[in-house]
Chains A and B, each alone.
Chain A
Amino acid sequence: MLGEGIIKGMVETARNFFGSYHDPARFVTIQYPEQRVPLKENNRNFPFLVFDGADTEKGLRCVACKICEKECPPQCIYIVPERDAHGKLQKHPKIFDIDISTCMSCQICVEVCPFDAIKMDQEFELSTGDRFSNLLLHKQDLAKPNDYYHKIHPTEATLVDAQLAKERQLAAQRKAGAGAAPASPPKHAPEKLVPVG
């Protein structure tokens, strides 16, 4: 019969229409600013800098090695290392800027960082009236405490903390061993831990 296919399709549409009022799995509308969907743990947006302890400036894990600046595909990171009075390089960034209007959230800076200093943030409400200066994040905007990192990526942060504790322990052992016996060849950082599913 001509039109049978159309009627069949209409029945399907009607079934879906009424289903959307009864099936709880299909009540998908979220009233956004009031209600929010919890973000996935792995969700990533733009990078931030992790600092330990209470001092934003001293606690920064970043040592201004410029690896992330070099590896960043869209070249959105700009770093100037601190120098002391004699012009000697310090293991601390003087300037650390990320232009988030250029950043493409690829996470390569996080992967190449040997010091677990840069991590991905989940902050997404970044709209601003000034796209030039307000989207260029400076060191003080980027620095966030380790607790915040634990809050947004709990599994990953626990692994990173365990890793860092292990490295510190190894370094202490090496230091103690170097005084007593001829030092064994310095052991390189143990392989990275990955979360297991």
Chain B
Amino acid sequence: MVDLVRDDKGRPLPLGLEQSASIPQMPSELLEVSMGPHHPSTHGVFRMDVVLDGETVTRLKPVFGYLHRNHEKIAEKTSYIGSMPYTDRLDYFCSMTNNWAYALAVEKLVGLAPPDRAEYIRIITAELTRLQNHACLVGFLLQDMGAMGTPLMYAFREREKILDLFESLSGSRMMCNYMRFGGCRVDLPPGWLEQARRVVADFPQFLDEFEALLTGNEILMARTQGIGVLSKELAVNASVTGPMLRASGVNYDVRKVDGYGFYPRFDFRVPLGDHGDCYDRLMIRLLEMRESLKILEAALRDIPTGPILNPKSKLRNFKPNPGEAYGRIEAPKGELGFYLISDGSVSPLRYRVRPPSLINLTILEDMCLGHSVADVVVILGSVDIVLGEVDR
């Protein structure tokens, strides 16, 4: 005779379900998953040691360094201008802003001021960089959520136009190597401004399209709202910067706080988020693109003629007086800073990068705890990292 298994009210359970009665009592076992380094959603060679309880993340350890290439030490052995092309390769999406941050640090070190036209060109290129970076970030984030291709391809279509502008200006699409200490390398080629004005004039249409595609999408909202909430206090304590910090509701933008370059001359607002979740981080980027367009319109209208390089600037035998300087800008990903100590020789004694991607990544665990493993991908995507900058 079969020994029936009974439930807690004494009723016999149907045959074959004896096992299920004992499931609630079964001790759950933690599972350690290594996400990456070759995982399509990690945006490069980046690994996360995720400890899962079922599908819930109980611990997460980001592991980076796979792309480390000794950038800072190389810069300490080469001339000041020699590290300019290497800065292109930090955050390879935004080489113009990387160039600017490094040039700004050296200019602070030696007290060089770029001419007016160069300052305008810098603002134009930096804001174009911000446009393409944010557009691509949104595209990548949606790709991670499973919107295969469509938004990413729309973003890349726009990025192509901006990269064409960069190519006709600097000769290279991504590795621009365009800024110099005290100005820029070459002047704008003929017709460049008209082309840039056209790109800027067409961009709002793309943004409207993008917003129609995304903003009200129920799947997107279900996947992002309330996911990966980053509190204001934690964001400030972890020195998170850029759109991530502003999505948590902290009004801090280096363009406003520091007023480097000619940014104080431009009228733009700093969009702020309210909840600090993934949805806010996504929307902040869309709003920032609108503000960038305002800056671009004004800059392309007001750009003066004149020289583009300070005559005191030089490439060879560039020896700043002993001293130190920290130059920082609002890169698309956050505060990008270069800290330089000069001992009066041709190469810096100490060269240090403050990479926004790396510092924004440090609070990944706090944002992921308690969410499911599928949300980790979305949260990581909303941080906006480029591994070239994280590892250097």
Contact = CB atoms under 8 A, between A and B. Distances in A.
Nearest to B164: A40
A73 B189 contact: no
B169 A112 contact: no
B302 interface: no
B214 interface: yes
Given A42-B167, A71-B82, A5 B187 contact: no
A80 B72 CA distance: 31
Interface in A141-194: 155, 191, 194
Interface residues of B, number: 43
B17 interface: no
Contacts of A12: 209, 212-213
Given A9-B214, A44-B172, A67-B316, A108 B189 contact: no
B316 A112 contact: yes
A53 interface: no
Given A104-B85, A106-B177, A197 B189 contact: yes
A42 B213 contact: no
B289 interface: no
B308 interface: yes
Contact of A120 (B164, B171, B193): B171
Interface string B167-200: 1111110010100000001111110110000000
Nearest to B147: A9
Contacts of B85: 73, 104, 106, 108
B219 interface: yes
Nearest to A41: B189
B67 interface: no
B217 interface: yes
Contacts, number: 97
A140 interface: no
Nearest to B190: A197
Interface in B207-231: 209, 212-221
Interface residues of A, number: 33
Given A9-B214, A197-B192, A71 B219 contact: no
Contacts of A196: 187
A155 B168 CA distance: 13
Contacts of B13: none
B260 interface: no
B38 to A, nearest CB: 24
Given A40-B167, A73-B82, A105 B172 contact: yes
Contact of A5 (B83, B169, B172, B218): B218
Contacts of B212: 8-9, 11-12
A112 B84 CA distance: 14
A48 to B, nearest CB: 14
Interface core residue of A107, A155, A195 (most chain B CB under 10 Å): A107
Given A42-B168, A112-B315, A112-B316, A195 B187 contact: yes
A162 to B, nearest CB: 16
Contact of B154 (A3, A16, A197): A16
B168 A41 contact: yes
Contacts of B175: 104-106
A57 interface: no
Contacts of B187: 194-197
B189 A195 contact: yes
B157 to A, nearest CB: 8
Nearest first, the 8 A-B pairs at minimum CB distance are A5-B216, A106-B85, A197-B188, A44-B171, A73-B82, A5-B217, A42-B171, A40-B168
Given A4-B216, A67-B316, A71-B79, 18 more contacts: A5-B220, A8-B212, A9-B217, A12-B212, A12-B213, A16-B154, A40-B171, A42-B189, A43-B172, A71-B316, A73-B82, A73-B83, A104-B85, A106-B85, A107-B185, A195-B187, A197-B189, A197-B193
Interface of B: 78-79, 81-86, 150, 154, 164, 167-172, 175, 177, 185-190, 192-193, 209, 212-221, 308-309, 311, 315-316
26 contacts: A2-B218, A4-B216, A5-B220, A5-B221, A6-B217, A9-B212, A9-B213, A9-B214, A11-B212, A12-B209, A13-B213, A40-B171, A42-B170, A42-B189, A71-B81, A71-B82, A73-B78, A106-B85, A107-B177, A107-B185, A108-B84, A108-B85, A155-B189, A194-B187, A197-B188, A197-B193
